[in-house]
């Protein structure tokens, strides 16, 4: 822990992939289908996990580099195929991490405003939240194609605070990666991290966050305890 903020926490911003939802299997499957069609070596799921967190475009660029197809001309066709395959599989097998539903329901029952900020495209994000029956719990969803500078920039977090009507210094970012920590620092939010998500293979202890919590449920308990 690096110094818990002195301001009371009145609202929460959640990252999506790796914090609320385990989406690695679906992403790996869509990437496998894409690379199979393109005749490229398929990456193991463990390698794909380390690519998640900066949005689909960054994932695809790095996946192509790892497969040996680093030419820029390969990027757009691969991205288009991936998005089509991901549209087929999104929210078909993704699951909430342990403690997520309980934590969110507890915060909602106590009228704590909540938002999701993700570099994922809006359509995919909405599909996940709707199929996992979480969409109605959030005041706002700020997605990667909303026209704002993406995380690690702080613009998306500030937009979420504006939508919730909360002050950034009283809104905690709960994420799983360096991207989330940097975005929170740029926005002026306190930031907590879970240890189970997608952090490009880095341990959560390497993140300069304010607190590590075992689950969303634990985060909710701490927030409600004041």
pLDDT in tens, 70-116: 778 889 999 999 999 999 999 999 999 999 999 999 999 999 999 99
> Looking at residues 14-28, what average pLDDT do you find?
97
Task: Enumerate the active-site residues.
Answer: 15
Could you tell me the fold of the domain covering 24-89?
A: DNA polymerase; domain 1 (1.10.150)
pLDDT tens digits, one per residue of 157-200: 999 999 999 999 999 999 999 999 999 999 999 999 999 999 88
**Three-state DSSP class for residue 120:** coil
Task: Identify the DSSP state of 118.
Answer: -
Say if CB 187 and CB 170 are below 8 A apart.
no
Of 63-67, 116-120, 163-167, the poorest mean pLDDT is in 63-67
Residues of the chain with CATH 1.10.150: 24-89
pTM of the model: 0.93
Per-residue pLDDT at 69 exceeds 90: no
Q: Which residue has the higher pLDDT, 70 or 223?
A: 223
C-alpha distance from residue 171 to each of 5, 52, 115, 165 (Å) = 10, 25, 10, 10
> Looking at residues 36-45, what average pLDDT do you find?
94
Residues of the chain with CATH 3.40.50.1000: 11-22+94-225
Could you tell me the fold of the domain covering 11-22+94-225?
A: Rossmann fold (3.40.50)
- What residues does 114 pair with on adjacent strands? 12
**Average pLDDT over all residues of the chain:** 93
């Amino acid at each position: 822990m690096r110094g818990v903020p002195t301001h009371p926490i009145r609202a929460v911003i959640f990252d999506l992939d790796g914090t609320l939802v385990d989406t690695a299997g679906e992403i790996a499957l869509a990437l496998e289908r894409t690379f199979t069609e393109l005749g490229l070596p398929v990456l193991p799921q463990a390698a794909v996990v380390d690519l998640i967190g900066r949005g689909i475009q960054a994932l695809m660029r790095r996946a192509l580099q790892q497969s040996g197809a680093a030419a820029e001309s390969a990027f757009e066709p691969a991205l288009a195929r991936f998005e089509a395959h991901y549209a087929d599989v999104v929210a078909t097998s993704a699951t909430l991490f342990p403690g997520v539903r309980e934590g969110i329901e507890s915060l909602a029952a106590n009228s704590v405003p909540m938002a999701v900020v993700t570099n994922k495209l809006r359509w995919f994000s909405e599909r996940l939240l709707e199929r996992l029956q979480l969409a109605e719990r959030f005041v706002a969803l700020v997605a990667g194609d909303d026209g704002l500078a993406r995380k690690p920039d702080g613009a998306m977090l500030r937009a979420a605070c504006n939508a919730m009507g909360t002050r950034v210094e009283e809104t905690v970012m709960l994420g799983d990666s360096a991207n989330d920590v940097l975005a929170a620092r740029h926005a002026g939010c306190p930031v907590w991290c879970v240890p189970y998500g997608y952090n490009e293979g880095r341990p959560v202890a390497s993140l300069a966050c304010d607190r590590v919590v075992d689950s969303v449920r634990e985060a909710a308990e701490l927030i409600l305890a004041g």
